[in-house]
Structure 1
Amino acid sequence: MVAFDAAIAATFLFYLAIIFAIAVVAWMRTRTAADYYLGGRNLSPAVAALSAGASDTSGWVLLGLPGYAYLSGLEAGWLALGLCLGVAMNWLLTARKLRIFSHALEDAVTLPTYLQRRFCDSGGGLRIVSSLFILLFFLFYVSSGLIGGGKLFVAVFGVDYHIAVILGAVIIIVYTLFGGFLAVSWTDVFQGLLLTIALLVVPVMAIQVADGLDASIAAIEIENPWLLEAWHDKNGEPLGAIAIISLLGWGLGYFGQPHILSRFKAIESAHAVKSAAAIGIIWAIVVYIAAIVVGMAGIAVFDTALADAEKVFILLVGTLFNPFVAGVLLAAILAAIMSTVDSQLLVCSSALAEDIYPLLRKRAIDATLRLRIGRWAVGGVAVASTLIAMDSDSKVLDVVSYAWAGLGAALGPTILLSLYWARMTGTGALAGVVTGGLTVIIWSQIDGGIFEAYELIPGFIFASFAIVLGSWLSAGNVAEAENRYRELDRA
C-alpha cells in the first residue's frame, strides 16, 4: 500500500474540484438530449481526438496493461500493437463516414438509432436488440473501471475495498449526471493529458532509479530472460498462432465501442476528421508503448514479486516520487477511470432513454422527459455495475477483455459494413448483432483447443458471415438498401 500523506489527499481533492467545476459549467450549457449525449456536435479535432482516446484507455491502461507487461514481458507488446492498429483503422475507416451518415440520418444521436434509420427498421427490433447488447456488456465494462478505482483507493488510503468501489461510483455518477457529454468531453481532454504525462514520467524515473536503460534490461534478464522475448511466453514456450492472433485481434474491438464512436459523431464537421485522426493515432501509440514500459520497469525496480501485478504503476509512483508529485500521478489513474466510465454511463443512459423506453411506450417523448430519464438511467446502470465490481478478486484486464469482445463482435461488423456495403439489409444487420454477441457469450464459457482464442475474433468473423447471409436471404430488400446507401454516401 502507498503510505497515506496529506499532500496526496490534497492533490486528489484539488483534482476533483477542477472536475466538478467543469461539470457545473457544462450543466449550465446543457438544455436538450442532443446536448447531453453529443454536446451539440461541436467538438474540435483536438477535443474529439483526446476525448476518444481518454474514453478508450480507462484505468486498465495504467493498471491492467502495465500489470500484464509486468507478468509477461514483451508478450504484451503484441496486445499494444493490435490496439494501435485498431485505433488507426477506426479513425481512417469509420470516423468520417459515421459522422456524415449519422448527421444525414436526421441527426441520429445514438448507435441503435443510427442503425434503425440506416436500415429503415420500422419495427424497432434492430434498435432494441443492439441497445440490449450495449447495456449487457457495458455493465461489465463500467464495473471494470470501478474495480480499478477500488484498487486505487485501497492502495492510497487503505480503506476497505467495497467502500472504495462505492466512493468511486458516487464521484463519477454525480459529475456525469450534472454535465453530460460536454462535461465528459472537456474533462476527457484534461484527463487525457494528465494520463499521458503520468505514463511518460513514471517509466523515465523508474529507469533512472534502476541505474539506466542497460541496467534495467539486465535486471529483467536476471529475473527472467524470457520476458525480453516477444515470440515466447514467460515460461519459454513459443506463443503460437492462436496466442498472437488473439492479442493482435484486440484491435478489431474498436469498430464496436459506442463510447468511442460517439466522439466521431460529435466532431464539428467531416472535414475536421483528418486532423483529429492524426492526433488520436499518435496519442494512442505513445500511451500504449509507455504502458508496456511501465510494467517492464517495475520488474527492474522491485526486488520481490508483487502480490497484485495490476498495482505496479501505483507502487512505482509511491516509491519514486514525493507525496505531492505522487498525488498528481495517482490522480491520473482516477482520471483514466473517470474518462471511460463517464462515457460508458452516457451510452447506457442514451440506450435506455433514447432507444428502449420510447419504443416500449410506442409514442414520442418530449426532450425534457428524455433528458430526465437519461439522468436517472446513469444512476441505475452505475448501481448495477457497482454490484458486479464488489468481487475484490476481480482483475481489471479480465473484465475489460470480456466487455470489449462483446461490444466489438456485436456491433463492430455491423457498423463497419453499414458504412461501406450498399447491399446490406436490416435483416443482415440484426443477424450480425445477435450472432456476434451470442458467440462471445458462448465462446467465453468453453476452454481448450481452438476455444483458447480470444472470443472477439470468432465473434467478429461469425457476425460478418451472418450479415452477408442475412442480407442475401432478404434479397428482396436489396434494391431499397442500395438506394438508401447511395443517398447517404452523397450527403
Structure 2
Amino acid sequence: MSMTNPTLITFVIYIAAMVLIGLAAYRSTNDLSDYILGGRSLGSFVTALSAGASDMSGWLLMGLPGAVYLSGLSESWIAIGLIVGAYLNWLFVAGRLRVHTEHNGNALTLPDYFTNRFEDASRILRVLSAAVILVFFTIYCASGIVAGARLFESTFGIPYSTALWAGAAATICYTFIGGFLAVSWTDTVQASLMIFALILTPVIAMVASGGLEPTFAAIELKDAAHFDMLKGASFVGVISLLAWGLGYFGQPHILARFMAADSVRSIPAARRIGMTWMTLCLAGAVAVGFFGIAYFSAHPELGVAVDDNPERVFIELARLLFNPWIAGVLLSAILAAVMSTLSCQLLVCSSALTEDFYKAFLRKKASQKELVWVGRGMVLLVALVAIGIAANPQSQVLGLVSYAWAGFGAAFGPVVLISLLWKRMTRNGALAGMLVGTLTVVLWKEFVGLGLYEIVPGFVLASLAIVTVSLLDRAPSATVRQRFERADRVYREAQSEAGEAAGRDCASSPAG
C-alpha cells in the first residue's frame, strides 16, 4: 500500500478533518448537556443533516445499490417505506419531542424522558429502556466497525485485524473528544459528501452508457423484469419492505437530533432540508445500482468484482469512471456513512451509561465536569466491547443486528409516539408497550415469520398494549396531565407561528 495512493491520501485528509472538528467541538463542551445533546443548540441545517447521516449507514452506498443491481427496481420499496416513515417522524414526533423533553425535567435521553413523563418513582422504565439501548446499540456499533474494517481491507489490501482498528480509531477519537457537537458537525460534513457522491456517480454512469435512453435500453436488453416494481414480490413482501419506515419512531440516535434542536421553531425548516436530502440520497443509491446494470452489461470484462459481490457496484463505478483523486473523495463517502452512524451509536450508549445508570444510581450529585469525563470513558468502554465483538466478523451475535431496527421501532416507537399525542397514557401502559413490542419482535422472528417483517406485529401489538393497559390503569396524576397540556400548548403555539410566518412569506413573494 503506497503512501502516494490518491485514495489513501484523501481518506487520511478526510479523517484528519473529522478529528479537527472534534477538537473544535471540545472547546464548546462544558457540561453533560453539551456532551450528550450539544446544549440543545443545533440549527435547522445541522439538525436535518445530522439526523439523516446518523440514520444512513454504509447500507446506503453499498447494500441498497447492490440489491438494485442484482434484482432491479423491485428492491426500491424499502426506500419508499423509509422516506414515508422519516417524513411522518419529522411531522408527528420531531417538534413535540423537542418541547416535551424540555418540559419533562429537561430530559437528555429517552430513558430520562420516559421517567419524567410518567413520574416513574420505581425507575423501572429508565432501567429497562437504557438496557435495551445498551445491548442493541453495542451490537450495532460492532456491525459498523465491521463495515469500516471491510472497507479498509478491500480498498487498501490490509489485514482485517489491522483494518479493524484503522476504521474505528478516527470515529472513536472525535466522539470521545467533542461529544454530541462533534458528532453533529461531522455528520453535516458527511451528509454533504454522501449526497455529492450519490448524485454525481449515477449521472456519470448514465453518460458513460450513452445517455438515458441507451441506458434504459441496455437494462431492458439485460432483463426487462428489472423495471418491474413487483418482480417476485408478494403483498406481504411489499408490506414488509414498506414497514421499515415504522422503525423511525423508536430510533434513539435519530430522536436525539430532534431533542437537540435549538428551538421547536427550527423543526419545519429542518424537515424540509432533511427530507430533500434523504429523498435525493435514496434515489441516487437506487440509480447507482440501476444504471450500473447498463454500464457493466456493456463492459462485462470490468464487472467481475461486482458479479462476485453486487455491493461493490458503487465502489467499482467510482474507481472506473473517475480520476483517482475524485474516486478517493467518492469512496470517502462510504467511510462517511459508516462513521456518521457509528459515532451516533457510541454516543447514545455513552449517554445511557452516564445519565441513566451512573448519575441516576451511583453519583446523583456528580459535578458536570465529572459526568462529561465519565461520558468520554463510556465511549471508550463501549467501543472496546464493540471491537471485541467485531474481531470475529462471522460471529453469530452480529446476526442480531437484524433485530435491532425492528426491536427499537417496536419497543420505543409506540411509546414515544403515543406519549406525545395522548395525555391519558400511563407508566404501566408504557411499560406494557415496551415489553410487548420487544417480545413480539423476538418471538415473531424466531417462531412465526410468515414472511412478514417482525416490526409490523410488534408495533401493532405494542400500541394495543399501551392503550389497553392505560385505560385499565388509574389515570395519570394532575401534575402529569398539566405538564403534558403545557408542553402541548407550547408546541401548538409554535406551529401556529410557523404557519403565520409561512403565510407572510408566501404573500410577500412575487407570485403572491
TM beyond 0.5: yes
Residue 446 of structure 2 aligns to a residue whose secondary structure is coil
What residue in structure 2 maps to residue 164 of structure 1? 163
Note the C-alpha offset of 1:3. 10
What residue in structure 2 maps to residue 368 of structure 1? 369
Note the C-alpha offset of 1:296. 1.4
Q: Structure 2: state its 5+ residue gaps.
A: 491-512
Query: Residues 43-90 of structure 1, C-alpha deviation per residue, up to 9 Å, x if partnerless?
Result: 111111111111111211111111221222111221110010011101
CA distance in structure 2 between the partners assigned to 1:33 and 1:57 by the alignment: 26
What residue in structure 2 maps to residue 386 of structure 1? 387
Note the C-alpha offset of 1:367. 1.8
What residue in structure 2 maps to residue 45 of structure 1? 44
Residue 30 of structure 2 aligns to a residue whose secondary structure is coil
CA distance in structure 2 between the partners assigned to 1:456 and 1:177 by the alignment: 33
CA distance in structure 1 between the partners assigned to 2:57 and 2:401 by the alignment: 10
Query: Residues 81-135 of structure 1, C-alpha deviation per residue, up to 9 Å, x if partnerless?
Result: 0010011101111111111111112211111101110110111100110111111
Paired positions, count: 482
Query: Residues 186-206 of structure 1, C-alpha deviation per residue, up to 9 Å, x if partnerless?
Result: 111111111000000111111
What residue in structure 1 maps to residue 270 of structure 2? 276
AA in 2 matched with 1:376? G
What residue in structure 1 maps to residue 250 of structure 2? 256
What residue in structure 1 maps to residue 58 of structure 2? 59
The structure with the largest alpha-carbon Rg is: 2
AA in 2 matched with 1:267? A
Q: Is the 8 A contact 2:201 2:318 kept in 1?
A: yes
Q: Is the 8 A contact 2:424 2:475 kept in 1?
A: no
AA in 1 matched with 2:28? R
Residue 159 of structure 1 aligns to a residue whose secondary structure is coil
AA in 2 matched with 1:384? V
What residue in structure 1 maps to residue 124 of structure 2? 125
AA in 2 matched with 1:188? D
AA in 1 matched with 2:277? W
Partner residue of 1:242 out of 236, 246, 255: 236
* Identical columns (%): 46
Query: Residues 318-345 of structure 1, C-alpha deviation per residue, up to 9 Å, x if partnerless?
Result: 1211210011011111111111111111
- 2:410 counterpart of 1:409: yes
Q: Structure 1: state its 5+ residue gaps.
A: 234-238
Note the C-alpha offset of 1:478. 6.8
CA distance in structure 2 between the partners assigned to 1:247 and 1:79 by the alignment: 5
- TM-score when scaled to structure 2? 0.89
CA distance in structure 2 between the partners assigned to 1:177 and 1:137 by the alignment: 20
How does 1:82-481 map onto structure 2 within 5 Å? 82-233=81-232, 239-302=233-296, 303=300, 304=304, 306-361=307-362, 363-392=364-393, 401-446=402-447, 448=449, 450=450, 452-477=451-476, 481=480
Q: Is the 8 A contact 2:425 2:476 kept in 1?
A: no
CA distance in structure 1 between the partners assigned to 2:3 and 2:208 by the alignment: 22
Q: Which moved more, 1:35-44 or 1:152-161?
A: 152-161
Q: Which moved more, 1:367-376 or 1:92-101?
A: 367-376
Residue 97 of structure 2 aligns to a residue whose secondary structure is helix
Note the C-alpha offset of 1:398. 7.2
CA distance in structure 1 between the partners assigned to 2:382 and 2:188 by the alignment: 24
Note the C-alpha offset of 1:389. 3.0
CA distance in structure 2 between the partners assigned to 1:195 and 1:232 by the alignment: 29
What residue in structure 2 maps to residue 236 of structure 1? none
AA in 2 matched with 1:324? W
CA distance in structure 1 between the partners assigned to 2:263 and 2:51 by the alignment: 16
Residue 446 of structure 1 aligns to a residue whose secondary structure is helix
CA distance in structure 1 between the partners assigned to 2:469 and 2:381 by the alignment: 35
CA distance in structure 1 between the partners assigned to 2:385 and 2:369 by the alignment: 25
Q: CA RMSD in A?
A: 2.1
